[in-house]
Amino acid sequence: MTRAWWVLVAVVLGGVGCKKEAPASMELVRASPDALLASFDATGKELEVVGLVKDIRDAGGLLTVSLETRHASRTVACQADAAQSVAVGRLVQGQLVALQGLARGAQGEDILLDRCRVSWTGPSPRTDPPGGREAVRAARSLEVCLIPILVDRQRRGGLTRPDGKPSTEATFRQMHPEEFQRLEAAAKSARAELATLGLTALSCEHPLIHLLNRCERGSTQERGGAECASRYVVEIRDLLPH
């Protein structure tokens, strides 16, 4: 799949003129650190944010992880659940991490999440080698997951079928048959490559898959985040069809 097709898919989704509704309040919302700083309207929602660890602070036994943003004096701060002290304590500066927590609004110029837990960590920049096979696995997994990700984006945006039911893969296939066939062929090829290497695809809900997707196809703001320029993400993106 060429980069042109990645762009076309974004255009296709943006052009569907169906009814839009807000996502369910407690449904997991995925966001980048910079997007949260730019426009925060998720107070009370369950968030998953993936970014680079800026620092870790201990305040009375509660660990708070701050994430890198493009604003030197601002951050997204995630106060860890007490049961997560070991997982958070293993994080190091500059490491990719996915954190899930409840959005609590602004604290000064920062965005605060609490009851946070670590849902995924990337390679440690201190000790872990480059991605290798795992980088290949991630790149091919994104191709496998592209159709489900796009359909989920439609659903979350409130796009519906003519009968009012949520959009499905079948809906996408009927509305955009040529694009669906191209994406399906790319997914089939990716699965075959993974099988040849003795690998299985990552879950389409995996935080790394959604990080890669926004680094490739997100807004200019999302693509410009520090996490998208990290060594591991760049290595994976170099393996994607361009």
Give me the pLDDT at residue 127, please. 79
Find all residues with CB under 8 Å of 200, minimum gap 6, and list them: 137, 194
Q: With bands split at pLDDT 50, 70 and 90, how would you rate the model's confidence at 26?
A: low
Q: Which amino acid is at 13?
A: L
Give me the pLDDT at residue 126, please. 85
Give me the pLDDT at residue 163, please. 76
Q: Please give the C-alpha separations between residue 214 and each of 44, 111, 115, 183, 201, in angstroms, as whole numbers.
A: 23, 20, 25, 17, 18
Q: With bands split at pLDDT 50, 70 and 90, how would you rate the model's confidence at 218?
A: confident
pTM of the model: 0.83
Q: Other C-beta atoms within 10 Å of 76: how many?
A: 28
Which of 22-26, 131-135, 143-147, 148-152 has the weakest average pLDDT?
Answer: 22-26
In the predicted structure, residue 152 carries a pLDDT above the cut 90: no
Q: Which amino acid is at 186?
A: A
Q: Is-contact 183 9, C-beta < 8 A? A: yes
Q: Which amino acid is at 164?
A: G
Give me the pLDDT at residue 11, please. 38
Q: Is-contact 144 184, C-beta < 8 A? A: no
Q: Other C-beta atoms within 10 Å of 156: how many?
A: 19
Q: With bands split at pLDDT 50, 70 and 90, how would you rate the model's confidence at 151?
A: confident
For the chain, domains (ranges, CATH) are: 3-22+129-237 (no CATH), 29-121 (2.40.50.140)
Q: Higher model confidence: residue 190 or residue 36?
A: 190
In the predicted structure, residue 65 carries a pLDDT above the cut 70: yes
Q: Other C-beta atoms within 10 Å of 203: how many?
A: 11
> What would the mean pLDDT of 91-112 be, rounded to a whole number?
93
**Cα dihedral: 10, 51, 233, 189 (round 10):** -50
In the predicted structure, residue 22 carries a pLDDT above the cut 50: no
> What would the mean pLDDT of 67-93 be, rounded to a whole number?
92
Give me the pLDDT at residue 165, please. 78
> What would the mean pLDDT of 151-173 be, rounded to a whole number?
78
Query: What is the spatial distance between Cα 27 and Cα 29, in angstroms, rounded to a whole number?
Result: 6
Q: Higher model confidence: residue 172 or residue 196?
A: 196
Q: With bands split at pLDDT 50, 70 and 90, how would you rate the model's confidence at 3?
A: very low
> What would the mean pLDDT of 96-113 be, rounded to a whole number?
92
Q: Higher model confidence: residue 36 or residue 158?
A: 36
In the predicted structure, residue 4 carries a pLDDT above the cut 50: no
Query: What is the spatial distance between Cα 234 and Cα 237, in angstroms, rounded to a whole number?
Result: 5
In the predicted structure, residue 14 carries a pLDDT above the cut 90: no
